[in-house]
Amino acid sequence: MPVTRSSSRQTSQKPSSQLYTSRRADPSGSGGSKKASKSPSNEIIVLSSDDDEPPPKGTLVLKKSPGRTSKRKVVPPVHTRDVLEISSDDESMPKKSSTRKQAQSAEATNRDLERTIKKLQEELKSTEQLLATSSREIEELKCDFYNKDASPLLSFFPPFVFAGLEEHTLCEVCTLTMWCPYILPECGHSFCEKCLVDWFSTTQARHMTANPQLDDSRSALAGQLHAFVQMVPNLHAYGLHGQQHVRAVLAGLRRHRPDYTCPSCRKEVLNKPVEGFRLKDLINQIAGLMGETEPHKDTLAHRGSGSGPFDHFFAAPAMHG
> The CATH number of the domain where 257 resides is what?
3.30.40.10
Containing domain of residue 165, as a range?
Answer: 154-289
pLDDT classification of 319: cutoffs 50, 70, 90:
very low
Cα–Cα distance between 301 and 321 in angstroms, integer? 32
What integer is the mean pLDDT of 8-29? 44
* Whether residues 282 and 160 fall in one domain: yes
- Evaluated on CA atoms 247, 250, 252, 254, the torsion sign reads negative
Residue 10 inside a domain? The answer is yes
Q: Residue 15 — pLDDT band, cuts 50, 70, 90? A: very low
Stated as kind and residue range, the H or E segment containing 190 is: strand 190-192
In a domain, 223, yes or no: yes
Residue, of 108 and 146, whose pLDDT is higher: 108
Give the three-state DSSP class for 274: strand
Contact call for residues 272 and 308 (beta carbons, < 8 A):
yes
Based on the number of CB atoms within 10 Å of its own CB, is 283 exposed (0-12), middle (13-18) or buried (19 or more)?
buried
In a domain, 285, yes or no: yes
Report, as an integer, the average pLDDT of 70-81. 56
User: Are 40 and 161 members of one domain?
Assistant: no
Domain boundary among 21, 43, 61: 61
Most confident of 99-103, 179-183, 256-260: 179-183
> How far apart, in Å, are the Cα atoms of 213 and each of 63, 216, 290?
156, 10, 51
pLDDT band, residue 29 (cuts 50/70/90): very low
Establish if 242 belongs to a structural domain: yes
Mean pLDDT of 165-187: 89
Average pLDDT, the chain: 69
**121 vs 78, which has greater pLDDT?**
121
- Residue 42 is predicted with a pLDDT of 52
Q: Is residue 237 situated within a structural domain?
A: yes
* Average confidence (pLDDT) over 295-300: 59
**Co-location of 44 and 161 in the same domain:** no
| Residues 168, 282 within the same domain | yes
Q: Of 20, 41, 61, which residue constitutes the final position of a domain?
A: 61
The mean pLDDT value for 143-170 works out to 64
**Under 8 Å between Cβ of 224 and 315:** yes
Q: How confident is the model at residue 289 (pLDDT cuts 50, 70, 90)?
A: confident
Same domain, 55 and 160: no
Give the pLDDT mean for 121-144. 87
Closest CA to 214 of 254, 241, 261: 254
pLDDT > 80? residue 27: no
Alpha helices in the chain (DSSP H): 2-12, 16-25, 32-38, 88-146, 159-168, 193-210, 216-230, 239-255, 277-289
**Does residue 97 lie within any of the structural domains?**
no
Exposure of 119 in the CB half-sphere (CA atoms within 13 A): 6
Has residue 46 been placed in a domain?
yes
Q: How many domains does the chain have?
A: 2
Name the band, by pLDDT with cuts 50, 70 and 90, for residue 285.
Answer: confident
First CA to last CA distance, the chain: 200
User: Within a domain: residue 318?
Assistant: no
pLDDT greater at residue 11 or residue 159: 159
Percentage of the chain exceeding pLDDT 70: 45
